[in-house]
Amino acid sequence: MCATEKALLELTAEVGSSSGSEVEESVNVAEGVETEEGDEADEGDEAVQPEGPPSRAQGKKAKEKSVRNIWRAKDNQGDLPPFLGESKMNVEGADPIDFFMHLFTQDMINDIVHNTNLYAVQKGKDKLALTSEEFKTFLGINMVMSYVRYPRSRMYWSSETGLRLELIADAMPVNRFEQILRYMHFVDNYSLDPKNADRFVKIRPVLDALKETFQSALDPDEFQSVDEMMIPYKGRLSIKQYVPKKPKPWGIKVWVRAGSSGYMYNFEPYQGPAGGRGEISQLGMAGDVVMRLCQDIQDKNHKVFFDNFFCTIPLLQALEHQGIYGTGTCRSNRLHGAQEKLKKEKQMKQEGRGSVSVVTNAQNITITRWLDSSVIHMASSCTGLSPTDVAQRWSKKEKRMLNIQRPFSVKLYNQHMGGVDLMDQCVAMYPHRHRNKRWYIRVFFHFLDVTTVNAWLLYRMSGNEAKDLLHFKASIARALINAGSVKIHTRGRPSATPPPAKRRAVSKAPPEIRYAHGNHWPQLKETKNASRCQDAACTRRTKYICMQCLVALCPGCFGNYHRK
């Protein structure tokens, strides 16, 4: 071997040894970052957290600079953060119609009537002449149709005995009802921007107005939940979704934030991954939905619950930066390394049902792995394992009930996650299900049902007379029909139509009819026996009745009876 070759070999050996030592040093440094449990690692974790959700382009750069989450086998520190807000109702009223009209306001009705008349003129129908009172009757009729179900809508006006429903048939002719439904519209088509990316622009004014009244009527509860809601629809529509586990799998998806009582505070119709809002952030489409729905509850220590479709560790951190604490079930591929410190599933199954393992990172995000019928993961920024309680579960193997340990985060999740499902259940009891090819009409009537349920929940919170949802909705329907169907007698030739059949006086008039403006005039009955006057301050008997209330009243008792 020549001298030149020896020199090259010695030089190569020196370079190899120096590079090897540098690799060993870098490995040791990396291991020190992952295994060190001092304050320096905690400070490093907190320093890399962004103030808001970055875009995906920024997220790639952030991932390169971020430090890996350091998980320790310990529980969440401290109790639940104290709630800094207050839950109060901002609605005053005594009757169901008062609560409904606070949410579905007169301005909304006037706007719909204006756009309906405008659309009729644009389609060549110059004499529609819809009024707000007549539209209230139209809404009341649709409410009655939701709890008195006929296979066909024209059967309510049938002349056959046993089919005709006088409450609907006497309020509006069937041709007029179908005419209003045909031309009902919510925006001016000629004023729409052709470049508008909003797919719900046809009904956007109604959705925005309802969202505003929902939020102003009741201050948000401490515990909120975010979930999806389906509006059943099977027609042709680009944003139609199929969710196989839903009772109505085909339809329009709506993201909803509701309280534990079921009251809907905020909602957002789904219109694609980007949602017409540009680039998706690093939190992903589902994380962006939660952030948008929670914009109005920041810095008050609200507790928000969501399922594994939404839940990620970055989302919990982003919510905590805005003063909101999140809790949800988390998928096993979103644990950011926590699964390495948790007990293995095989070990937990050997320990038996109720086995639990918990880890927490530097940002106080706690992952709880719990074995019930299967292994679940609960991620939370405010709660963890303790204080535990006992839950009863049925054992198929032993054929008896078992008492198993349950983490506190699972208990809270089960208590407060069902708000959106509760709203869905109430809407599905008496839904408006008449078919219509125009998708925005289906959306409108769905949110009319939601408005009725929200008004019912407000009515219950106000401490008024207890009414179930059916009687509450029937009361609103009667009030709306009565508001638009009262006819004032005018001068002129009598009508060619025969007078309606005489009805017997009823013993009690609903408050929606008793205190409404209309034909409260005395009418003499052609009967042999007199009836007891219904005024509380009168004990006499009379043959006179009120023409509108159809109750027996002395002529001198009319003022006192019809005054609140």
Query: Does residue 36 have a pLDDT over 50?
Result: no
Same domain, 193 and 233: no
Max mean pLDDT among 3-12, 305-314, 460-469 falls in 305-314
Residues 216-243 have a mean pLDDT of 92
- Tokens 């056959």 sit at which residue? 160
- The answer to the question of residue 65 being in a domain is no
Q: Are 488 and 521 in contact (CB under 8 A)?
A: no
Residue 263 banded pLDDT, cuts 50, 70, 90? very high
State the chain's mean pLDDT as an integer: 83
Q: CA 294 to CA 302: how far, in whole Å?
A: 9
pLDDT, residue 268, reads 93
3 state SS of 334: helix
Residues in the chain: 564
Q: Which is higher by pLDDT, 2 or 216?
A: 216
Tokens of 530: 């007199």
pLDDT at position 13, please?
A: 47
Given the structure tokens 């079921």, which residue do they identify?
A: 262
387 contacts 408 by C-beta, under 8 angstroms: yes
Of 422, 444, 459, which marks where a domain is finished? 422
The angle at the Cα of 233, spanning 244 to 143, to the nearest 5 degrees, equals: 120
The predicted pLDDT at position 17 comes to: 44
66: in domain: no
Residue with tokens 């507790």: 303
Q: Which domain holds residue 113?
A: 90-198+431-487
* Residue with token string 């939190």: 283
pLDDT of the residue at 494:
52
Residue 193, domain member (yes or no): yes
**One domain for residues 474 and 348:** no
240 with 381, same domain?
Answer: yes
Mean per-residue pLDDT, 281-294: 91
Task: Read off the pLDDT band of 9 (50, 70, 90).
Answer: very low
Percent of the chain at pLDDT exceeding 70: 82
Inside any domain, residue 223? yes
Going through 496-563 in order, the beta strands assigned E by DSSP cover: 522-524, 531-532, 541-542, 544-546
Instruction: Identify the three-state secondary structure at position 330.
Output: coil
Question: Which pLDDT does position 481 carry in this prediction?
Answer: 93
Q: What is the pLDDT of residues 377-435, one digit of tens each?
A: 999 999 988 888 899 888 888 888 989 999 999 999 999 999 999 999 999 999 998 88
Residues 193 and 262 in one domain: no
Q: Which residues pair with 404 in a beta bridge?
A: 391
Q: Does any domain span residue 209?
A: no
Question: What pLDDT, on the 0 to 100 scale, is given for residue 513?
Answer: 79
Residues 293 and 231 in one domain: yes
Query: Which residues have a Cβ under 8 Å from the Cβ of 143 and sit 6 or more positions away?
Result: 432, 448, 452, 473, 474, 476, 477, 480
- Beta carbons of 172 and 141 less than 8 angstroms apart: yes
- Same domain flag for 287 and 396: yes
For 142-174, what is each residue's pLDDT tens digit? 999 999 999 999 999 998 888 899 999 999 999
Distance CA 224, CA 260 (A): 6
Q: 232 falls in which pLDDT band (50, 70, 90)?
A: very high
Domain boundary among 487, 502, 528: 487
pLDDT of residue 526: 82
293 and 386: one domain? yes
Of the listed ranges 63-77, 291-305, 357-371, the one predicted with least confidence = 63-77
pLDDT(292) > 60: yes
Tell me what pLDDT residue 160 has. Answer: 85
What is the identity of the amino acid at 19?
S
Q: In this model, does residue 329 exceed pLDDT 90?
A: yes
Range with top average pLDDT, 104-113, 271-280, 525-534: 104-113
Residue 560: per-residue pLDDT: 87
Query: How many domains does one find in the chain?
Result: 3
The answer to whether residue 95 is domain-embedded is: yes
Instruction: Give me the pLDDT at residue 130, please.
Output: 92
Where does residue 167 rank: exposed (0-12), middle (13-18), buried (19+ CB within 10 A)?
middle
Give the separation between CA 197 and CA 556, rounded to whole angstroms. Answer: 63
Q: Are residues 304 and 382 in the same domain?
A: yes
Least Cα distance to 451 among 105, 115, 203, 93 occurs for: 105
For 424-478, write each residue's pLDDT tens digit: 999 999 999 888 889 999 999 999 999 999 999 999 998 888 889 999 999 999 9
pLDDT at 328: 94
What is the pTM assigned to this prediction? 0.77
Q: Rounded to whole angstroms, how far apart are CA atoms 93 and 86?
A: 21
pLDDT tens profile 55-99: 554 544 444 344 467 888 888 876 888 998 887 888 888 889 999
For CA atoms 164, 167, 173, 175, the dihedral sign is negative
Last residue of a domain, one of 422, 443, 466: 422
> Residues 336, 369: one domain?
yes
Task: Please report the pLDDT score of residue 452 as a whole number.
Answer: 96
Name the 3-class secondary structure at 375: strand
Whether 186 and 311 map to the same domain: the answer is no
In this predicted structure, what is the pLDDT of residue 72? Answer: 87
Residues 156 and 258 both lie in one domain: no
Return the higher-pLDDT residue of 179 and 527.
179
Q: Is residue 50 part of a domain?
A: no
Token pair of 491, please?
């001068």
Query: 368 and 469: one domain?
Result: no
Tokens 């005039």 sit at which residue?
Answer: 521
Q: Is the pLDDT of residue 504 over 70?
A: no
The answer to the question of residue 280 being in a domain is yes
